[in-house]
Structure formats: C-alpha cells, structure tokens
Structure 1
Amino acid sequence: MQLKQPYKPLLWGLMVGCVLHSGVWAQQTPTGQALKLTDLSAFKKPNGSNWQIVGDASAPLSATLSTSKGSGVLVNLPNEKNKANLLSSLEHGDIDLELDYLMAKGSNSGIYLQGRYEIQLMDSWGVKGAKIGDNGSIYQRWDDKRGAGKEGYEGQAARQNASKAPGLWQHLRISFQAPRFDAKGVKVENARIVRLELNGVAIHENVELSGPTRGPLANNEVAHGPILIQGDHGAVAFRNIQYTAYDTPRPALTSLTYQVYTGAYDKEPDLKTATAASKGNAKSLSAGVVSTPSNFLIQYKGTLQVKEAGSYTMQVVGVNGFTALKVNGKSVGDWTMRSAPVTVELPAGNVPVELMYSKLNGRGAPSLGLMISGTGLRPFYLGDGNAEGMTGNENGPILIEANNPIVHRSFMDVPNGRERVRVTHAISVGSPEEVHYTYDLDKGALVQVWKGEFLDATPMWNSRGDGSSRPTGMVQRFGVPALSLSRLSSPQAAWVADTVGSQFRPKGYTLKENQPTFRYQSYGSLVQDAIQVLPGREGVKREITVEKPAADLYARLAQAERIQTLNDQLYLIGDKAYYIQLESGVKPLIRQVNGQQELLVPMRSGKLSYSLLF
C-alpha cells in the first residue's frame, strides 16, 4: 500500500463555497443567477452564425455534434467561414461560475474569465497525467519576444485528469478573484483562480494569474470584463450556466486590542473584575498572543469598518475551544465549542465587535479566526492561517496511491438523495492506469467507478476513525447497491434488490496479479465476477460467469430515468452520464419500472461481458 505525501490545502481552498473541512462553515446551495438560454440575448451579437440555441446536443463518442430544436442549450458549430468567439453581456469582477458542457470527440474550446484568463476545455478522455493543454487546465501566457520554443510560459495543468468521455455532460465550477487596482488604476494584486472543480474534483486551488493567457480579448487587465467562450476550435455545447457576482466591498477589522486571561473557562465569564495576564494592540486576529497550548482565554475588541449596510453572516472559528461573539454590544453567538454562522444587520460605518476564545485542553494547536460573508460578498477569513488545526488533522489528508494494483477494504458511503448509505463490505480496487472501482461483497454489485487519484483514507485512519474511505477522483456512481443478478418470473417482474430468497452467499475473491475475481453463490449457482481496466483508460470491462444458470436469471446492467439505444451494442445511460457497450450478439431488454428504465440481459448462456465507458 502506498500512502501519498499529502498536500496541505491553503485556507483559500478551504473557504470557497463556504466550506471548511471541519464542517463548521456549512456548504450552501448555489443562489446565483442563470444566464438566459432561450435565445442569444445574454450575449453580445456574434460575428458569425456558429453559435445557436437548441433543445439538446448529442455527440456519442463522435466528432460530430448533432442538435435538436428547442431552447436551454447553447452550441458552437464552427466551420471555416463561421468560427467567432462569443462574449457575454455580463461584465464581472469576482465571480463564481458554474455550468455543464459537452465536447465532441477531439474538440477544443475555452472559457476566458474577464475575456483574459482561459480555462481550457478539451476532449482529454483517456489522457493520463494532465498537461497545460488538457481539459480544465489554466492555459499558458504567450510572448513572441521570449524566442522560439520559449514563447509559452506559466499556465497550470490540472492537478489530475477528471475528464469524461466525449458526448457526456461535464460539470465545471470556478471561483475567480479579479485583479485589484489602487485609486490610480495601478494593479496591486494579481487575479487568481481561488478554486476550480471539474466533475466534482478540485483540480486548482489558489492559483495566481500574473496576466492574460494566450489569445485574450485584450492584453490589458481590468476590474470587470465579459466572459468569452472560444468559438474557433471545435464543437461544444453548454447548459445550466449560473453565476454569483461578488461586488460588495469587504469589511475591514481595525483598532484591535487583546487581553489574555489564564485559567479554565468552560462557561462564558464576566471579566469586569478579572485581571489580565497580558494585553496589547494587534494588527490581526490570532491565537499567537498566548504561549501555552491550553487553559487560557483571549478577548479581542476592535472596529469593523463596513462600507455597505446590509445582512452579513459571521462565525468565530476557534480550534478545540469555546468561542463567543458580540456585535454592537449585543451577543450574537452562544458560548459554545462549535459555533454556528449567525446573520446580523450591519449599518455602514464603524461597528464595534468583541470575540472571546477559551481553550481548555492541549489537543490541537490554538487557532482563532472570523469568517464573514454577505450578499454579493464572497466568504472570507480573518485570523490564523492554521488550516491543519481547523481540519482537526495536523498532518493533512491521508491519501492512498495506486502506483501498483491495490485492493483496499473499508466502509464506503454512497449518496442516496440527501442521505448516505454505508456499504459495510466494500472492496476498492486501484490501478496504476488511474481507473478504479468499488465492489460490494454483500450484494455482488459494482458500486462505483472513478478516474484520477485513488482513495482518501482520512476518515478511516485519522484519530479514532470511522472505518470509511472515499474516492479522490472523478466518480460515476450506480446508486444504492443491489443484486446484479435476479430471477424474474416475467420480463416485468420486480427486481429482487435484497439477498433474501436469492440464496446469496459470498465466497470471497481470488487474486491474479493482485486483480480480484469475486465469487459468490446465487440461486444455487456459483458466480464469478471479474472487472478489468480497459486500454487507454476508457473505463472498465466486466465479465460475469454463472455455472448452470436458471432459465429465468437476468443481469441488470443499469437503472436510470432514461436509457438511450445508440446502436446494437452501445447505450447512453441517464442524463448523458456514461455509456454501456455490449459485445456482439448480446440482446438486452430495456424495460420501464416505477418511472425508471432498466437495462437487462438474460443469462441463459451463463456468460456476460460488457464495458462501462465514462
């Protein structure tokens, strides 16, 4: 087993989307505005006819992108005469941008924030080790004066390749901070990608952008600029484009003073008669004004300079200690070990604030800070940059690599609506090709497949642990695990999801070159289930063998709201989520059950082989 040297995410990365790893700042549902895609009115009139509004787009493992009439989807269909870029009417500064996109095979596009900083969109399916030009990467800057072969510089490759196959919808989330300028218009701070997620995987955090990347709208930098979508390279479709603009000025915490008291304060104290062990002025919030790891209380007083009146959400963050908050002389946060965000109305001007932090034990380094957000204000943090202390894990995440084939047992939690289902007999199998999967020994079911890095075992091995691990790449899940094989009295009979009545008996697995073949007994027959990585990292191939199968035994390959037949062997599952490819001669059945479609294959021959492409 290989444990990866963990990266320690900067505090910027922890805060984006209102998320702290410790869970003290809960993730919020996006409340942004949508770009209207009923027509092209959300964009400046393009110079070509390559941009269209349609009802749907399709490019199933194909270089050709086809469309259907309607609205809600923006497509680029360039040719030699029409290949214009598209500019939004919106001009943005700090922004969170979220959208779905679908690439034709071999296609290439890009999104330029403020028309100047490109996030590359590329069909990078199967690529191992993302480079500057691959999907989700920040494209390089360009200067002909640097000399032949040296024109390109800077740029940032994606941390891992989280791309899906062509013809599948992919999801992009970008948190961007615009460059800062002083009153004279001189740049005082570079733009940055605060965080970028591709298909649920963080592939960039806190990346500074020293200037426009290659092919910008203009080479100057500005406080506000349009979104530019590249139109001269290849066919691509977009939908569900949403954004949240952050234009509210940040409040500043000034005139800070502190007093330190020694002792164990497990209840909110009255400090009027207490004597401070030390006191002074401070430039910023910090627990660094004390030299001991525990049994102290810090009281900070200061002024919050608010430029715009409105509703603000605030939260004191103190590692392993009690905290309290007062604003304008009123308590707005209870004396508690785990403070919750509180919303207060702040007037414009100078607002007095008071914070207290009491730490009783020596576990974890002392750390104190204040989180603030509001309408049009991206959450920001004032205080100690002790990200490790705030996560509760001083060593950062505990990551398992798959430099060689690896089999790892743990619990695995599977999303089920707003809840999670725990798979207690999960086996996760990793490969150096960076294509991995989880199998449920208790159901004989494939739980999930993913590409990229292997496992985060922090929940399992940090502190007492809970026995679970989680994938760290781009994951395709298959719902709550259920039996892969079931006997059906008729083609419309209900699928037997539970093992009761199936005579299901796990028989473990055998290993060949550290690749498992799972074995179990079902309906009196011995079943062998082998899963292998496909060449080119395209997905996985599954082979199920049943000895003496019953005549009415079926395998369920997929369950989704929609299953689309592309040809005799290829099927598109769900909302263009993944493909299933059957071998020649297999005759499946697609049936409708309780508002869902199911892809079934009769197991009369005792053998089934199919591939999952994603």
Structure 2
Amino acid sequence: MKLSSVLTQLIGMSAALVAVSPLAAEKEPWQLAQETEVWEPVPEKVSVNHRGVPSDAVVLFDGSGLDAWESVNDGSKAPWKILGDELVTNPKTGDIRTRQDFCDLQLHIEWQAPAEAEMEGPEGQGRGNSGVFFQERYEVQVLDSFGGETYPNGQAGSIYKQHIPLVNATKPLSEWNVYDIIYTAPRFSDSGELEKPAYITVLHNGVLVQNHAEVQGPTAWIGHPPYEAHGCAPLRLQDHGNPTKFRNIWIREL
C-alpha cells in the first residue's frame, strides 16, 4: 500500500475519533468532583474535655502541681504559689519556665491582675505586670490595661515594645483574661543567619489583637537587639513584682 493511502486512512480514523470523543469523554458532575477529592492524610481525631483542653495538648498547669516548671534562677523547683487552681507569682523570687522545650505552638493561658491595693503602683506598668515569653525571648505582655494608662506598645496584648495591639480587649480586675496564641518560631540557617522571623497571633478574650505579627527580635526594655540563632526553648512566665494570677495553661505543639 502506498504511503499516501496509509496517511489518508489515518487521517480518516482521526477525524472519526474526534467526531465521537465529546460524547465518549463526557463525565458526570460527581466524576468531575472526585478528581479534586484528597483522601490522605486523614486528620487525627482530637477531643476537648470539660475544661476546654484538647486531648493532644501538653498541660502545663491545671492546679495539680508545678512539675512542668522550674526556677529560671537555678533550675530548682518553681518558687511560685498554688492557691486552689490558680498559679500566683511569688514577687521577687524570679521568673519560671517550662522544663520542656518548644518551637511552633498553640498556647492557651488565663490570667488576672491583682487587686488594686496589691499593685506596685496605681498606674502604668505597675498594674499586674507580667509576661509570656516564647522560647524565653519574645514577650506578649500581661498587664491590667482596663484601668491605668501606659505606652500602647507595652499594654496588655502587645508584643512588648514592638507591636501595639489592634484593640484593647482587657477585662476589669475582678475578671479573668484569656490569651489564645499561635506562635511560629524563627528559622535560622546552618551558619546562624536568620532565614525567617518569628510570628505571633494573639486572641485576647476571643478578640484578635495581633494578626500574624512579625517579631522583630528578642524583647528588650531598652533598644532593639537583633536575632541570635537558637533552637527550641522553654516557655517563660515573668515575675515583675506583682502577685499576678494564672490558670488553665496548656500547649499544643504544631
């Protein structure tokens, strides 16, 4: 058979296939939907107990003891006090930190400033001052900002001296405040160079006050120190001289 005849037959067959292909290739909507269904991985089931604690959480304080914590000063038993289900700072004994190291995490922590008569001062930074330090370096401020005034990048819900909260969601002295915080740790190269900064999202009493805010470096009272390479590290609570209260502290590692 001549080559021209073969080509003519092939062209004819192709034309016939094209003529029937729209009908042959037509799919039902459910078949098209299946093409974008992903079946793996299947998320792990997580339950939440009556205290609101997820089943995959690391419980750091529920009133039963301070085994998860140690003194920052010397690594000994945490010197703060337990009153019922409340953890109370023991002024002038120093900060406490978790015995466990963390990187990326979800934190739930509840806090209450002391009665006004117990405050270091009636205004500003004396109103139940404490702080939550991620990896012992990056602070979200704890302070009664319902009452006295202070610089906005040092009030409750601020990333201290770096980011003013979007709004002031602080409750009165007699009520408990709740922080739900998503923390993403910074990343460093093998040579110690910063590749990606830390980020913090804060919900204060259910209100968004920090939205994936970029942490500019370690927290400092004076100046703006640069990042220094580090790995996972403890969560730290600050003793600033006031008998601030905490309760129901848990973490989910991300």
TM-score (norm 2): 0.65
Asked if structure 2 preserves the Cα contact closer than 8 Å seen for 1:179 and 1:190, the reply is yes
Rounded to whole Å, the distance in 1 between the matches of 2:150 and 2:139 is: 20
Asked if structure 1 preserves the Cα contact closer than 8 Å seen for 2:70 and 2:97, the reply is yes
Aligned residues: 185
Rounded to whole Å, the distance in 2 between the matches of 1:52 and 1:129 is: 28
Asked whether 1:226 is paired with 2:234, we answer yes
Rounded to whole Å, the distance in 1 between the matches of 2:137 and 2:250 is: 19
- Spell out, residue by residue over 1:406-428, the C-alpha distance to the aligned partner (whole angstroms, 9 max, x if none): xxxxxxxxxxxxxxxxxxxxxxx
Q: 1:127 to 1:83 in 2, by over 3 A?
A: same
Higher-RCO chain (CA-CA 8 Å, sequence separation at least 6): 2
Structure 2: where are the runs of 5+ without partners?
A: 1-46, 49-53, 117-126
Q: What is the aligned partner in structure 2 of residue 123 from structure 1?
A: 144
Q: What is the aligned partner in structure 1 of residue 249 from structure 2?
A: 241
**Alignment partner for residue 113 of structure 2, among 79, 103, 121?**
103
After TM superposition, the structure 1 = structure 2 runs for residues 19-34 of structure 1, keeping only pairs within 5 Å, are 30=54, 31-34=56-59
Rounded to whole Å, the distance in 2 between the matches of 1:96 and 1:189 is: 19
Asked if structure 1 preserves the Cα contact closer than 8 Å seen for 2:180 and 2:203, the reply is yes
Asked if structure 2 preserves the Cα contact closer than 8 Å seen for 1:130 and 1:158, the reply is no
Asked if structure 1 preserves the Cα contact closer than 8 Å seen for 2:101 and 2:235, the reply is yes
1:47 deviates by 4.2
Rounded to whole Å, the distance in 2 between the matches of 1:160 and 1:128 is: 14
Asked if structure 2 preserves the Cα contact closer than 8 Å seen for 1:190 and 1:208, the reply is yes
Residue type of the alignment partner of 2:83: V
1:226 deviates by 0.9
Q: What is the aligned partner in structure 1 of residue 212 from structure 2?
A: 206
Asked whether 1:54 is paired with 2:67, we answer no
Rounded to whole Å, the distance in 2 between the matches of 1:197 and 1:136 is: 8
Rounded to whole Å, the distance in 1 between the matches of 2:93 and 2:145 is: 22
After TM superposition, the structure 1 = structure 2 runs for residues 262-411 of structure 1, keeping only pairs within 5 Å, are none
Matched residue of 1:226: which SS? Answer: coil
1:178 deviates by 0.2
Q: What is the aligned partner in structure 2 of residue 113 from structure 1?
A: 134
Matched residue of 1:207: which SS? Answer: strand
Rounded to whole Å, the distance in 2 between the matches of 1:77 and 1:129 is: 24
Q: What is the aligned partner in structure 1 of residue 15 from structure 2?
A: none
Asked whether 1:139 is paired with 2:139, we answer no
1:196 deviates by 0.5
After TM superposition, the structure 1 = structure 2 runs for residues 215-614 of structure 1, keeping only pairs within 5 Å, are 220-246=228-254
Asked if structure 1 preserves the Cα contact closer than 8 Å seen for 2:192 and 2:229, the reply is no
Rounded to whole Å, the distance in 1 between the matches of 2:206 and 2:150 is: 18
- Spell out, residue by residue over 1:275-334, the C-alpha distance to the aligned partner (whole angstroms, 9 max, x if none): xxxxxxxxxxxxxxxxxxxxxxxxxxxxxxxxxxxxxxxxxxxxxxxxxxxxxxxxxxxx
Rounded to whole Å, the distance in 2 between the matches of 1:129 and 1:158 is: 13
Q: What is the aligned partner in structure 1 of residue 124 from structure 2?
A: none
Q: What is the aligned partner in structure 2 of residue 162 from structure 1?
A: 169
- Spell out, residue by residue over 1:328-371, the C-alpha distance to the aligned partner (whole angstroms, 9 max, x if none): xxxxxxxxxxxxxxxxxxxxxxxxxxxxxxxxxxxxxxxxxxxx
Asked if structure 1 preserves the Cα contact closer than 8 Å seen for 2:193 and 2:229, the reply is no
Rounded to whole Å, the distance in 1 between the matches of 2:208 and 2:218 is: 22
After TM superposition, the structure 1 = structure 2 runs for residues 16-95 of structure 1, keeping only pairs within 5 Å, are 30=54, 31-36=56-61, 37-45=63-71, 47=73, 51-55=80-84, 72-78=85-91, 82-95=92-105
Residue type of the alignment partner of 1:177: T
Percent identity (aligned): 29
Tell me the C-alpha RMSD between the 2 structures.
2.8
Rounded to whole Å, the distance in 1 between the matches of 2:72 and 2:216 is: 29
Matched residue of 2:70: which SS? Answer: coil
Q: What is the aligned partner in structure 1 of residue 202 from structure 2?
A: 196
Rounded to whole Å, the distance in 2 between the matches of 1:126 and 1:43 is: 31
Residue type of the alignment partner of 2:58: Q
Question: Higher helix proportion, which one?
Answer: 2
Asked if structure 2 preserves the Cα contact closer than 8 Å seen for 1:120 and 1:133, the reply is yes
Asked if structure 1 preserves the Cα contact closer than 8 Å seen for 2:194 and 2:227, the reply is no
- Spell out, residue by residue over 1:220-261, the C-alpha distance to the aligned partner (whole angstroms, 9 max, x if none): 342311111110331111111010112xxxxxxxxxxxxxxx
Asked if structure 1 preserves the Cα contact closer than 8 Å seen for 2:105 and 2:182, the reply is yes
Matched residue of 1:96: which SS? Answer: strand
Structure 1: where are the runs of 5+ without partners?
A: 1-27, 56-71, 141-154, 247-614
TM-score (norm 1): 0.28
**Alignment partner for residue 185 of structure 1, among 180, 186, 192?**
192
1:162 deviates by 0.2
Matched residue of 2:154: which SS? Answer: coil
Rounded to whole Å, the distance in 2 between the matches of 1:204 and 1:242 is: 20
1:186 deviates by 2.5
1:215 deviates by 5.6
1:50 deviates by 5.3
Question: Higher strand proportion, which one?
Answer: 1
